[in-house]
Structures are given as structure tokens and as C-alpha cells.
Amino acid sequence: MLESYTVGGGRRAIEMLIDALPRQVTVRRNGRESEIRAEDLAAGETIVIRPGERIPVDGIITKGSSYVDQSSIMGESLPVEKTEQSKVFAGTMNKNDVLEVSVERLGRDTTFGKIIRIVEQAEKWKAPVQRVADRLAAGLVYFALAAAVLTYLVARNLTATIAVVIVAGACGVAAGTPLAILAGIGSAARRGIVVKGGLYMEKLAGIDTIVLDKTGTLTMGVPEVTAIRVADGATEHDVLQNAAIAEQHSEHPLGEAIIRRARADRVSLRQYTSLRYSPGKGLICLDNASKILVGTQTLLAENGISLDADTVKSLEKEIRPGETLVYVGRNSAPPRSANICRPPS
């Protein structure tokens, strides 16, 4: 019963990974959209992924741009910007805009499918300690039988003989090690950690150094505004208010950080007239017949707002590792700038 429960836990972890993929998808055929089962898709077809939907295939974006949460595949805590011709992967989440994706790989052939296959195969790969336990268990079987025979010859008591077989049996040795390894692999899978087999689980005991190359692993993975720098006599309140007006409906992590700071500072917001997103550059917002620009220095320069080189160098020197510089400008006035970063780990 204990073995069934432990193995079942590992299986449930695998099933949770499989269930993360959508069962129904929207496909575009002959210019018309229709809902079909994911298993009925074929390579080369075009599917439509709406905001908040999980991507069911590996493919290439043919139309649209959006931010995609790839944490389930790549481990990145922050969504990654995807534009036309960018690759997307099954199991990732579309965040804010509609995407059309050309299907390349489906099901078990996707990157997500390979991860599931690794977890399944991990249950079959024995660790060295497990092989030692198997050999020891085989020897204990013969010892138990010999002890049982000797007990019966001496005591002529069947109950005592059975008791010796039970006590000297190898069930604990044979079952304990694989159950512990299976439980560990299943528990790791439920937490998003893929262990390739019992060998690697056993080697963890000898590790004294871990290298983590993904943001959000030790840190919270949630950006926050850490500093605001102003120019041309503007106030921090003005900078934050203008940035928050443009970002108030944004699902980008940096935009959400600006909104959290604005709410914490009780900054009043109003609805903008219109909003345009410039991929890779930022937002252009029309507010009270004037533009609010939030994004890169390039976005501001393209809209007639520029800073002198010394000011830019001064701002860049203030940036600490892990921080991102976001420029905020309005009309043709010099831009305001805000440093935005994650909390320190």
C-alpha cells in the first residue's frame, strides 16, 4: 500500500504536467476560426492564442506581439517579449495580446513533452545505492530461508519459522530505497524541478555549491520601483503619475511595478484617450491632447525628446546589477527617468 501511494504520487506529478496543456485550441482554417481538440492539430496549421491562454504547441509567431511567461520551460521569472518570427513553446502562457502561431511540434515532440518524458524515465533509472540494495536484498532472501529452515529443525514450530521469515526478510531493504527515490523525484516534479533519475538524486547529497542562472530563483521575481530621477524641474509625483497613467492597464511586470508604487503613494490616475504599444521600445499614451512616453531612450528620441549624453551617462552609472532604467517623458519636455528593479535577494 505504501509503494502504491508513493508511486501514485509520482504519477500524479506527471499527470499535473500533462494537464497543464490545453485540451481545446482555436485554429484558423481557410480564414475562419474554429475550436478543435488539441490532438487533432497538424504541423503547419495556424492557431490563435488569446491573452491568458496557455500555448499548446511549439511554433513560430506569424502575427502579433505579446509577452509570454516561459517560467515553466526556461525558469525565467519575468515574461519575455515575443514578436513575429519569435519561437514559442508548449506549456508557456500568453500574457497580454492575441498571437497567431504556426504549429511546428505537437504533443510528446514539444519541449514540454520532452520534459514530461524525462520525468517518466527518471522512475526507471536506478541509483547506485538502489543497485546495492537490490544485491543485499537478494542475499538476505537466502539468509532468511536458511534461518527459517534452521528454526524449524530446532524448534519444530511453524509459527516461529514464519516469524523468522518475516523478520529476516528483505522487503524493507528492497522496497525502502526505490520508494524514497521515487518520492523525491515526484516531490521535485510537483515543485517544477526535473530530476533525470535516481543517480542524480543520490549525487545531490555530495553537492556543496549550486549555481543559479535564472532570475527569481532566490529573489522574489517581482519588480519594484527603487528610485526616481527627475529632470527639468519636474517632481517625483509628476513622473510617477505620468508613468502610471500610461501603464494602468499594462500586464508587463515593470508596468505592474509602477502601478504598485503609484497606489502605495496614493497617486491619482485618470483614463487616457488612446494607447499604442511599440514592440521592444515601450508605450505611447495620449492624455489630455499630449503624449506620455514610457520605455526606452530610443522611444523618446523617435518622438522628439532627447537628453544630453552626460545626463544619460550619469543615469546609467547609477544602475546597479539587476536594475532596469525606464524613461518617462511628456510632449517635447526633457524626459523623466525611473530605475525599476527586483527586490534584492
Catalytic site positions: 213
- 125-131's contacts with Cβ under 8 Å and 24+ in sequence apart are 125/196, 125/197, 125/198, 125/199, 126/178, 126/197, 126/198, 126/199, 127/177, 127/181, 127/197, 127/198, 127/199, 127/201, 127/202, 128/199, 128/202, 129/177, 129/198, 129/202, 130/177, 130/178, 130/181, 130/198
CB atoms within 10 A of CB 225: 21
Q: Quick one: which of 108, 123, 109 has its CA closest to 18?
A: 108
Nine cell digits for residue 159: 509459527
Helices (H), the chain: 2-19, 111-122, 128-155, 158-168, 171-190, 198-203, 236-247, 253-264, 297-302, 309-318
DSSP assignment, residue 230?
-
